[in-house]
Structure 1
Amino acid sequence: MPILPSKTFIERKARVVGYHDKGIIVEATASSGCTQCAKGQGCGLGLLSRPRSWQLEIDVPACWEGDPVPPLNSEVTVAIEKTSVTRLTWLVYGFPLLAGLVVAGLGSVVSDSTWLAPGLFFGVLMCGMVGLKYALGQRAELFRPRLIDAP
């Protein structure tokens, strides 16, 4: 039972190149005539594809468990929610940068030390990076592409 596509998803066609214990391994390819890329808006394929040696593991949804998994070299559709992309961008870039700027600004007000503000800024960025890794934990699955259609 496939998940119905919607305008809230970034969808791409992918080819099944293998299997793993919870699902399939796919390789997404860029379409040569992508109208959004031609307009300079980007299509989101960068989220779903990487260099040729990189492969994406997609878990098969629970609602498909009775259905057979897609065969090798078959074309499937994978998608990621646009809101997930926005949330992830804010968590990875926006929040640590904003926190670093605020803390560095406070540090420059509190002390006249030349290196305190830059030290605080980069310290907060590093702590933010490590903190996100542990804070997201198992919730990282919310930001993974999903299988929405298969033959």
Structure 2
Amino acid sequence: MSATTGEQVVQRQGRVVGYRTQGVVVEVIASPGCTQCAKGQGCGAGLLARRNPWQLKVDTPLSYKDKTSPALNSEVTLVMQKATITRLTWLIYGLPLLIALAGAGVGDALSDAVWLAPSLFFGLLISSMLGLKYALGRRAEYFRPRLVDA
């Protein structure tokens, strides 16, 4: 995944602060908000940049496996596809809400009990969020930023 292939990506700079068996530990450098964020149009950059530096475990690409890993305290570039950020946002926020709303609507249509629809809504919302956490936990690497430049 590189920025030169025409893909829309969010890029952030980081500094290598440690090593692990499968990659490196990168401290993402805090940066000011992008122009879209300043206008009130989110671009997803908040996933990769925060006000305070934070550390992220990043797997080293196969091109670095044969070579030496990036040097300690060296600058690296992390990227994440915007489509991946959008997909993750829909999965985390949209899907549980839609499931909860549909379940509450069905419960309201099938029963006259006043408490059933709100109970179904919150129960399904919490259940679907926990289910997604379990299901996405196995695919967490798909939603992680990638190291492209060291």
**TM-score grouping bracket, smaller chain normalisation:** 0.7 to 0.9
Query: 1:23 deviation in Å?
Result: 0.8
Distance in 2, Cα, partners of 1:22 & 1:141: 12
State the match for 1:81 in structure 2: 81
Structure 2, gaps ≥5 residues long: none
After superposing on structure 2, the runs of 4+ consecutive aligned residues of structure 1 that deviate more than 6 Å are: none
Amino acid at match of 1:74: S
Cα separation, 2, equivalents of 1:50 and 1:104 = 36
TM-score by length of 2: 0.87
Checking the alignment, whether the CA contact within 8 Å between 1:30 and 1:45 is kept in structure 2 is: no
Q: How high is the TM-score relative to the length of structure 1? A: 0.87
CA separation in 2, counterparts of 1:74 and 1:84? 27
Counterpart amino acid of 1:87? R
2:37 maps to what in 1? 37
Are 1:133 and 2:139 an aligned pair? no
- For 1:141, what is the secondary structure of its paired residue? helix
Equivalent residues of 1:16, 1:70 under 8 A apart: yes
Alpha-carbon separation, structure 1, partners of 2:138 and 2:61:
17
Aligned-residue offset at 1:22: 1.1
Matched to 2:2, the amino acid is L
1:4 is aligned to 2
Match in the other structure for 1:27: 27
What RMSD in Å do the two structures reach over aligned CA positions? Answer: 1.9
Report the secondary structure of 2:41's partner residue: coil
Question: Which sits farther off after the overlay, 84-93 or 22-31?
Answer: 22-31
Secondary structure of 1:119's counterpart equals helix
Q: Which whole-Å deviations, capped at 9, do the CAs of 1:51-71 have from their partners, x for residues lacking one?
A: 647311111012221121111
Shift of 1:36: 3.1
Superposition pairs for residues 1-151 of structure 1, below 5 Å? 3-5=1-3, 6-32=6-32, 34-50=34-50, 52=52, 54-150=54-150
Aligned residues: 148
CA distance in 2, matches of 1:12, 1:84: 16
Which runs of no fewer than 5 residues in structure 1 stay unpaired? none
* 1:69 counterpart SS class: coil
1:45-102 deviation per Cα after TM superposition (whole angstroms, max 9, x unaligned): 3211346473111110122211211112111100111111111111111011011001
Question: In 2 relative to 1, CA 28–100 (structure 1 residues): closer, same or farther, beyond 3 Å?
Answer: same
> Cα deviation per residue 1:97-122 (whole Å; 9 max; x = unaligned)?
01100110111111111110011001
3-state SS of 2:99 partner:
helix
